[in-house]
Amino acid sequence: MRTRRCGTHKRRGHTPGPFNRRRPIYHTRGRAPSTQHPAPRHPAPRHLVIPVTPSCIRIVRMTMLDRMRRHKRWLKWSLALVCVAFVALYFPDFLSTRQDVGAAPNTAVAEVDGRKITVAEFTRAYYQRLDAYRASAGESFDPKLLKQLGIDRQILSLLIDEQAMLAEAGRLGLKVSDAEVRERILRLPGLQENGQFIGEERYRQLLGLQRPPLTPAEFEADVRSQLLAEKLRTALTSWMTVSDEDVEREYRRRNEKAKLEVVSVPAETFKDQAAPSDAELAKYFEKNREKYRMGVKMKIRFLSIDAQALREAITVSPQEARQHYDDNTTQYSTPEQVRASHVLLTIEDKNEAEVRKQAEGLLAKIKGGADIAALATQYSEDPGSKEKGGDLGYFGRGAMAKEFEDAAFSLEPGGLSDVVKSQFGFHIIKVTDKKPAETQPFAKVQEQIVEQLKWQRAQARAEELATEIAAKIKQPSDLDAVARAHKLKVAESNFFERDEPIDGLGPAPEVSQAAFSLEQGQVSDALRTSQGFAFITVVGNQPARMPKLSEVKARVTEDMTDEKALDLARDKAQSLAESLKGNFARAAKAAGLEVETTDFTRGGSVPTVGANAQVDELAFRLPVGGVSDPIVTDTGASIIRVAERTEIKKEDLTAERETLRQELLEQQRGRFVNSYLSKVKERIEIRQNDAVLQQAIPS
């Protein structure tokens, strides 16, 4: 089915509808924490107002998980802390002014198996992610860049995934009782003070501060949804296990290390000797004809709406820019931030008194002059900061647990906390720097605002034009008349294959997809391009065929030259192999080659070789001092020598076995749920309204 990206536009001869059908990409999820707490002093509210909602889970999934992807490791405990702190501070500075969306809150951005995702839900999730990025990025935060990276569609994909999970849970007959909903509220640390429930009045205040506001019933529905999704995940994956062999294999992969010496023979150096003759080219082409088969090609005429051209005609007055600045001050503000290092001693499955005593002993050492970075490296049980001497970098309010945050923000640079207890254990915190809250002056961001408003208005005008034009084009002959009426242009492309750029439009996947599905005589919907929109009609096609050598000679020449150069590089490496097995460094120098030394772990990358399965295997199979045979890659041939190797310690494996087993189990479950949800989304109907989505994105 062809993806439709402009909900108000219809293909000729088809019934229009407000939604676009799509199958979004699934993203692996994080999980909210589960922590036991004492019974509340206040009664639970009548409506079971539960702030651990899909919204709360989204802030974990869409911020911290992104950071986990960008960095090899992240604070295991902070995944949960973000959710906890967010519940406790669900209502910060951005809430009072953010009304800058153009669609009604109850309008559907998408429907998943009949379940609506409203503008209100999307907008709330959008701001949550924006603020989490702002808190973590500090001065480098750039909301414009996030929009360019497609944050809106990422968020909508996550919301769609959640609804698909709920649809499947309903199909399987899974249910959540009122008692289970009530139980969840009693376990939320972010809604308690001194171990006691904060009371219904404060619940309602927090809900009312949301933009758009949330009702108790909406909160209750959210927590039911979260619990239902958790039940589905448990039902799907509770049978899974990770064997001791799998744990050891992964531990070895992460911890076995080798120091490698590498000599490389680049194929590039042999290209001058590898130029093929015409006879060789003809023979090579005959042998590899299928490689050069040309696919079906299409030619189109198109009317394009160029948002960039529209932008150049738009003006924004200083008064309009100032008004936007005043209405969106928080967008140009950086909240107060601290930079801190910490030592974390976890308390799970441990004697709490003994752990506290250990923490107090470490605190005494630091007060006595010991380096907190050295102690964190040795003792901290936070895998994300341990290797960095406990350094957490800069963070704002709402990024850490309340106890941790209160202590950190109360200290001046250089200040050291007492032992601080959170639900994750005992912390010793040292603040190393502080940045005050700061709002960029209007003069500094005026040009940025003007460009932003110009682009927004150009995009809006492009969509308006697309809507107007869609109603006027009934057949291909209408393109020229409509273009003249709107001072636009109609152009004709060259023949192009499905994955090739299109003359005048560049890479345009939607246009290509439409071109290969339309019949001659039809006109497409408004199709999104990198420039704006296009309406197309097919004016010609070429069937798949086998080209003559003369048509593809340049490509054949390049391919054969590369292959011959690679053969020469392999032969050169092979001739050196025996001498390198004697004195590696001397033989390399005699051949005019350099020896590169690199530290290597399984799955790692080696200079000039890259990530390579052969290197992975040889680095830990060859004896220390052993030299490999030539390893051929796309760019040449390399020979490695194992200079040193660090084996794992069995006692370390034993100590980390269960933690690693749980991590692998979560990964295994995530992959399974990922695959399962993809199948679910193939079965159900998913419709997206791109026109509403564009209006829902805050300016």
pTM over cut 0.85: no
Residue 644 near residue 661, CB atoms below 8 Å:
no
Q: Which amino acid is at 511?
A: V
Residue 568 contacts by C-beta under 8 Å, 6 or more apart in sequence? 267, 270, 273, 274
| Helix axis angle, 318-327 to 442-472, nearest 10° | 100
The yes-or-no answer to whether 297-326+442-542 and 336-436 have a common fold is: yes
Q: Given its phi and psi angles, is residue 398 left (phi above 0), alpha (psi -120 to 50 degrees) or beta? A: left
Count, in order, helices (H) and strands (E) of the chain. Answer: 25, 22
The structure tokens listed for 526 are: 């408004």
- Closest by alpha carbon to 688, among 125, 1, 225, 116? 116
Predicted confidence (pLDDT) at residue 221 exceeds the cutoff of 90: no
- By the 10 Å C-beta count (0-12 exposed, 13-18 middle, 19+ buried), 486 is classed as middle
Reported as a pLDDT band with limits 50, 70 and 90, residue 181 is confident
- Residues 34-46 pLDDT 10s: 333 333 333 333 3
- By the 10 Å C-beta count (0-12 exposed, 13-18 middle, 19+ buried), 290 is classed as exposed
- The architecture of the domain spanning 336-436 is Roll (3.10)
> Longest Cα pair distance anywhere in the chain, in angstroms?
91
- By the 10 Å C-beta count (0-12 exposed, 13-18 middle, 19+ buried), 30 is classed as buried
Q: What is the mean pLDDT of the chain?
A: 81
Reported as a pLDDT band with limits 50, 70 and 90, residue 189 is low
Give the SS3 label for residue 15: coil
Average pLDDT over residues 425-446: 93
> CA distances (Å), 305 to each of 120, 523, 661, in order?
30, 15, 55
- Residues 291-305 pLDDT 10s: 999 999 999 999 999
Reported as a pLDDT band with limits 50, 70 and 90, residue 314 is very high
Predicted confidence (pLDDT) at residue 661 exceeds the cutoff of 50: yes
Q: Where are the domains of the chain?
A: 23-242+659-696, 257-293+548-646, 297-326+442-542, 336-436
The structure tokens listed for 412 are: 């001046």
Range 513-540 burial, b when 16+ CB lie within 10 A, else e: ebbbebeeebbbbbbbbebbbbbbbbee
Cα separation, 677 vs 699, whole angstroms: 33
In the DSSP assignment, the letter for residue 697 is S
Least-confidence region, from 188-197, 587-596, 640-649 = 188-197
Cα separation, 532 vs 344, whole angstroms: 51
Cα separation, 640 vs 627, whole angstroms: 6
Give the SS3 label for residue 632: strand
Predicted confidence (pLDDT) at residue 420 exceeds the cutoff of 60: yes
* pLDDT > 70: percent of the chain: 80
Predicted confidence (pLDDT) at residue 132 exceeds the cutoff of 60: yes
Least-confidence region, from 15-29, 152-166, 255-269 = 15-29
CA angle 9, 11, 12 (to 5 degrees): 120
CATH of domain 297-326+442-542: 3.10.50
- The architecture of the domain spanning 23-242+659-696 is Orthogonal Bundle (1.10)
DSSP 541-607: EE--BPPPHHHHHHHHHHHHHHHHHHHHHHHHHHHHHHHHTTSHHHHHHHTT-PEEEEEEETT-EET
Q: What count of residues does the chain have?
A: 699
- Residues 374-401 pLDDT 10s: 999 999 998 878 888 999 988 888 778 8
